[in-house]
Amino acid sequence: MLAPAREVTDAGAPEVARLIADMAETLADAGGVGLAAPQVHESLRLFIYKVPAARAEGGDEVPLTAVLNPVVKPLGAEIALGWEGCLSIPGLRAAVPRFERVRLTGVGADGAAIDKEISGFEARVVQHEADHLDGVLYTMRMSDFRFFGFNEETMRYELPLPKVRMA
Protein backbone atom coordinates (compact mmCIF):
# COMPACT_ATOMS: atom_id res chain seq x y z
CA MET A 1 0.00 0.00 0.00
CA LEU A 2 2.92 2.36 0.56
CA ALA A 3 4.74 1.59 -2.68
CA PRO A 4 3.95 3.41 -5.93
CA ALA A 5 1.10 1.67 -7.77
CA ARG A 6 1.36 0.35 -11.34
CA GLU A 7 -0.10 2.05 -14.41
CA VAL A 8 -3.37 0.64 -15.73
CA THR A 9 -2.37 -0.79 -19.10
CA ASP A 10 -5.82 -1.85 -20.37
CA ALA A 11 -8.59 0.55 -19.38
CA GLY A 12 -11.17 -1.70 -21.05
CA ALA A 13 -10.25 -4.88 -19.18
CA PRO A 14 -13.18 -6.56 -17.39
CA GLU A 15 -11.05 -6.78 -14.23
CA VAL A 16 -10.71 -2.99 -14.22
CA ALA A 17 -14.48 -2.52 -14.61
CA ARG A 18 -15.07 -5.02 -11.81
CA LEU A 19 -12.55 -3.28 -9.56
CA ILE A 20 -14.23 0.10 -10.15
CA ALA A 21 -17.64 -1.39 -9.34
CA ASP A 22 -16.29 -2.97 -6.12
CA MET A 23 -14.63 0.30 -5.13
CA ALA A 24 -17.86 2.23 -5.76
CA GLU A 25 -19.67 -0.16 -3.42
CA THR A 26 -16.99 0.20 -0.73
CA LEU A 27 -17.09 3.99 -1.02
CA ALA A 28 -20.87 4.08 -0.77
CA ASP A 29 -20.81 1.81 2.31
CA ALA A 30 -18.22 4.02 3.98
CA GLY A 31 -19.93 7.27 3.05
CA GLY A 32 -16.73 8.83 1.72
CA VAL A 33 -15.97 11.02 -1.28
CA GLY A 34 -12.96 9.21 -2.70
CA LEU A 35 -11.18 5.88 -2.78
CA ALA A 36 -7.95 4.78 -4.43
CA ALA A 37 -7.24 1.24 -5.65
CA PRO A 38 -4.29 0.69 -3.26
CA GLN A 39 -6.74 1.20 -0.38
CA VAL A 40 -8.50 -1.99 -1.46
CA HIS A 41 -5.15 -3.73 -1.97
CA GLU A 42 -4.97 -3.35 -5.74
CA SER A 43 -1.69 -1.74 -6.68
CA LEU A 44 -3.07 0.13 -9.71
CA ARG A 45 -3.07 3.83 -10.60
CA LEU A 46 -6.80 4.32 -10.36
CA PHE A 47 -9.13 6.22 -8.07
CA ILE A 48 -12.79 7.10 -7.85
CA TYR A 49 -14.22 10.27 -6.39
CA LYS A 50 -17.29 12.43 -6.26
CA VAL A 51 -18.18 15.86 -4.95
CA PRO A 52 -21.59 16.35 -3.35
CA ALA A 53 -23.45 19.52 -4.37
CA ALA A 54 -22.97 21.00 -0.89
CA ARG A 55 -19.18 20.89 -1.32
CA ALA A 56 -19.02 21.78 -5.02
CA GLU A 57 -17.92 25.10 -6.49
CA GLY A 58 -21.09 26.78 -7.68
CA GLY A 59 -23.14 23.93 -6.27
CA ASP A 60 -22.59 21.66 -9.28
CA GLU A 61 -22.02 18.18 -7.95
CA VAL A 62 -19.43 15.92 -9.53
CA PRO A 63 -20.98 12.49 -10.00
CA LEU A 64 -18.95 9.41 -9.12
CA THR A 65 -15.99 9.46 -11.52
CA ALA A 66 -13.23 6.93 -12.07
CA VAL A 67 -9.82 8.23 -13.12
CA LEU A 68 -7.22 5.82 -14.47
CA ASN A 69 -3.54 6.79 -14.60
CA PRO A 70 -4.30 10.22 -13.17
CA VAL A 71 -1.83 13.07 -13.22
CA VAL A 72 -2.48 16.06 -10.96
CA LYS A 73 -0.50 19.24 -11.63
CA PRO A 74 -0.78 22.42 -9.58
CA LEU A 75 -2.03 25.57 -11.31
CA GLY A 76 -0.50 28.53 -9.57
CA ALA A 77 1.08 28.67 -6.14
CA GLU A 78 -2.04 29.23 -4.04
CA ILE A 79 -2.37 26.79 -1.14
CA ALA A 80 -5.34 26.33 1.15
CA LEU A 81 -5.79 24.47 4.41
CA GLY A 82 -8.85 22.25 4.58
CA TRP A 83 -10.15 19.34 6.62
CA GLU A 84 -9.62 15.81 5.33
CA GLY A 85 -10.34 12.35 6.54
CA CYS A 86 -9.37 9.03 5.00
CA LEU A 87 -11.03 5.62 4.95
CA SER A 88 -7.59 4.14 5.63
CA ILE A 89 -7.32 6.10 8.91
CA PRO A 90 -10.86 5.84 10.33
CA GLY A 91 -12.16 8.30 12.89
CA LEU A 92 -9.47 10.92 12.44
CA ARG A 93 -9.20 14.08 10.42
CA ALA A 94 -6.75 16.87 9.89
CA ALA A 95 -6.39 20.20 8.15
CA VAL A 96 -4.03 19.62 5.25
CA PRO A 97 -2.40 22.13 2.92
CA ARG A 98 -3.27 21.52 -0.75
CA PHE A 99 -2.99 23.46 -3.96
CA GLU A 100 -6.16 25.48 -4.51
CA ARG A 101 -6.23 24.88 -8.28
CA VAL A 102 -4.99 21.87 -10.23
CA ARG A 103 -5.20 20.29 -13.65
CA LEU A 104 -6.38 16.68 -13.61
CA THR A 105 -5.58 14.48 -16.59
CA GLY A 106 -6.15 10.77 -17.01
CA VAL A 107 -8.50 8.28 -18.57
CA GLY A 108 -12.10 7.62 -17.61
CA ALA A 109 -13.77 4.28 -17.04
CA ASP A 110 -15.08 4.52 -20.61
CA GLY A 111 -11.56 4.96 -21.99
CA ALA A 112 -12.12 8.64 -22.82
CA ALA A 113 -9.48 11.20 -21.94
CA ILE A 114 -10.04 13.35 -18.86
CA ASP A 115 -8.51 16.83 -18.83
CA LYS A 116 -10.00 19.37 -16.47
CA GLU A 117 -8.97 22.34 -14.40
CA ILE A 118 -10.50 22.21 -10.96
CA SER A 119 -10.35 24.10 -7.71
CA GLY A 120 -11.43 24.10 -4.10
CA PHE A 121 -12.76 20.91 -2.54
CA GLU A 122 -12.66 18.92 -5.79
CA ALA A 123 -8.99 19.84 -6.26
CA ARG A 124 -8.35 18.77 -2.66
CA VAL A 125 -10.04 15.39 -3.18
CA VAL A 126 -8.07 14.50 -6.31
CA GLN A 127 -4.77 15.54 -4.68
CA HIS A 128 -5.61 13.31 -1.69
CA GLU A 129 -6.56 10.35 -3.90
CA ALA A 130 -3.62 10.74 -6.29
CA ASP A 131 -1.30 10.70 -3.26
CA HIS A 132 -2.59 7.23 -2.35
CA LEU A 133 -1.19 5.96 -5.67
CA ASP A 134 2.28 6.88 -4.46
CA GLY A 135 1.79 5.56 -0.95
CA VAL A 136 1.32 9.02 0.54
CA LEU A 137 -1.29 9.55 3.25
CA TYR A 138 -2.64 12.96 4.31
CA THR A 139 -0.83 12.76 7.62
CA MET A 140 2.43 12.96 5.63
CA ARG A 141 1.28 16.31 4.16
CA MET A 142 0.33 17.97 7.44
CA SER A 143 2.04 21.18 8.44
CA ASP A 144 0.37 21.90 11.80
CA PHE A 145 -0.53 19.14 14.25
CA ARG A 146 -2.92 21.41 16.16
CA PHE A 147 -5.34 20.62 13.36
CA PHE A 148 -5.32 16.85 13.80
CA GLY A 149 -7.50 14.64 15.93
CA PHE A 150 -10.55 12.45 16.33
CA ASN A 151 -13.59 13.58 14.35
CA GLU A 152 -15.69 14.42 17.41
CA GLU A 153 -12.89 16.34 19.14
CA THR A 154 -11.83 18.42 16.16
CA MET A 155 -15.45 19.30 15.41
CA ARG A 156 -16.16 20.29 19.01
CA TYR A 157 -13.09 22.48 19.35
CA GLU A 158 -13.10 23.82 15.83
CA LEU A 159 -10.06 26.06 15.47
CA PRO A 160 -10.32 28.70 12.80
CA LEU A 161 -8.09 27.67 9.91
CA PRO A 162 -5.69 30.19 8.45
CA LYS A 163 -7.37 31.18 5.19
CA VAL A 164 -4.82 30.77 2.45
CA ARG A 165 -1.10 31.05 2.21
CA MET A 166 1.26 31.12 -0.73
CA ALA A 167 3.63 28.30 -1.60
Q: Is 7 a catalytic residue?
A: no
CA distance 59 to 8: 32
Piece of 43-51, 78-86, 91-99, 104-112 that binds Ni ion (CB under 5 A): 78-86
48 near Ni ion, judged by CB under 5 A = no
- Residue 44 or 86: the one with the smaller Cβ distance to Ni ion is 86
Piece of 1-9, 83-91, 108-116, 140-148 that binds Ni ion (CB under 5 A): 83-91
Q: How far is the CB of 86 from Ni ion (least distance, A)?
A: 3
Closest residue to bound Ni ion by CB: 86
Query: DSSP states of 78-105 as a string?
Result: EEEEEEEE-TTSTTEEEEEEEESEEEEE
CA distance 96 to 84: 7
Handedness of CA 130, 136, 137, 139 (dihedral sign): negative
Which residue among 84, 100, 122, 129 is the active-site one?
129
Please identify which residue in 8, 86, 107, 118 interacts with Ni ion, judged by CB under 5 A: 86
- Residue 38 or 106: the one with the smaller Cβ distance to Ni ion is 38
Q: How far is the CB of 10 from Ni ion (least distance, A)?
A: 25
Residues near Ni ion (CB under 5 A): 86
Catalytic residue numbers read 129
